[in-house]
């Protein structure tokens, strides 16, 4: 069967070698997938308001959209995934799939780490839509981890936008590049504004790692 993804390393020596590969931990929402852009039209429909009335520069939890009067964020999220295929339809962040394809040609193991299963009883939909979306956009990866505690998964470098996750990872001495958006401007760098910058920073880390 043809596969877009690299085959897993066989047992033995080559498995040991692959275990030492530089692991790039990649968050999905707000990093590879433009979650705000994808959710915004669904939120406007849910609230019965024009899309333009919902600000793009939101804080964590979309407080600016006034979701409380319509059941809160969780109700919208559940509807968006179950009835609007949110995770299947999200636009990718500009340049992300192509940059990940280029990065995958380096000696790196791309490990996608996402916390998309935080609402119970629709895990099957969330996982299926996520896997379909990654295939559709030709995004290469070795591992796909649905995890809340991202430090528990282990990576040499994380790409992350959630302020809580960034702070938790840094408190645990992990190397994190802040992927900039309106939720995380208060955090210290290193940070990247777009995928061109992310790619350059990751390549620099890979070169430093290889020369150690
Ligand atoms: Mg995120």
pLDDT tens per residue, range 39-72: 999 999 999 999 999 999 999 889 999 999 999 9
The verdict on 70 and 147 lying in the same domain is no
- Which of the residues 29, 156, 161, 194 is marked catalytic? 29
Asked if 42 contacts 80 with a C-beta cutoff of 8 angstroms, the reply is yes
Q: Is residue 8 part of a domain?
A: no
pLDDT of residue 13: 45
Q: Which residues of the chain have pLDDT under 70?
A: 1-19
143 is catalytic: no
Closest to 182 measured CA to CA, from 171, 174, 193: 193
Asked if 163 contacts 66 with a C-beta cutoff of 8 angstroms, the reply is no
Distance 30 CA to ligand 1 centre (A): 5
- Which of the residues 16, 27, 34, 161 is marked catalytic? 27
pLDDT of residue 51: 98
- The Cβ of residue 51 has, within 10 Å, a number of other Cβ atoms equal to 12
pLDDT of residue 78: 93
pLDDT of residue 5: 54
The verdict on 29 and 47 lying in the same domain is no
pLDDT tens per residue, range 70-91: 999 999 999 999 999 999 999 9
CATH number at residue 102: 3.40.50.1000
Distance 93 CA to ligand 1 centre (A): 12
Q: Is residue 2 part of a domain?
A: no
Distance 165 CA to ligand 1 centre (A): 9
Instruction: At 151, give phi and psi (nearest 5°).
Output: -65, -30
The verdict on 17 and 42 lying in the same domain is no
The verdict on 154 and 166 lying in the same domain is yes
pLDDT of residue 122: 85
Distance 1 CA to ligand 1 centre (A): 32
Closest to 5 measured CA to CA, from 197, 177, 134, 124: 134
Distance 12 CA to ligand 1 centre (A): 35
∠ CA 30-5-29 to the nearest 5 degrees?
Answer: 10
The verdict on 127 and 191 lying in the same domain is yes
The verdict on 77 and 119 lying in the same domain is no
The verdict on 131 and 197 lying in the same domain is yes
pLDDT of residue 6: 54
pTM of the model: 0.89
Q: Which of 89, 104, 122 is the last residue of a domain?
A: 89
27 is catalytic: yes
């Amino acid at each position: 069967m043809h596969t877009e993804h690299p085959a897993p390393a066989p047992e033995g020596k080559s498995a040991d070698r692959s275990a030492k590969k530089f692991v790039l931990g990649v968050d999905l929402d707000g990093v590879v997938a433009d979650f705000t852009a994808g959710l915004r039209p669904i939120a406007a429909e849910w609230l019965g308001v024009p899309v333009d009335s919902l600000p793009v520069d939101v804080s964590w939890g979309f407080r600016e959209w006034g979701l409380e009067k319509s059941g809160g964020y969780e109700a919208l999220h559940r509807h968006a995934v179950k009835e609007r295929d949110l995770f299947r339809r999200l636009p990718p962040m500009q340049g992300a799939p192509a940059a990940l394809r280029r990065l995958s040609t380096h000696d790196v193991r791309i490990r996608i780490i996402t916390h998309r299963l935080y609402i119970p009883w629709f895990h099957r939909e969330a996982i299926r839509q996520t896997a379909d979306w990654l295939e559709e956009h030709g995004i290469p990866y070795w591992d796909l981890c649905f995890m809340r505690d991202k430090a528990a998964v282990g990576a040499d470098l994380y790409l992350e936008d959630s302020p809580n996750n960034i702070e938790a990872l840094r408190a645990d001495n992990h190397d994190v590049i802040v992927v900039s958006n309106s939720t995380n401007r208060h955090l210290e760098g290193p940070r990247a504004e777009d995928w061109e910058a992310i790619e350059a920073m990751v390549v620099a880390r890979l070169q430093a790692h290889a020369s150690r």
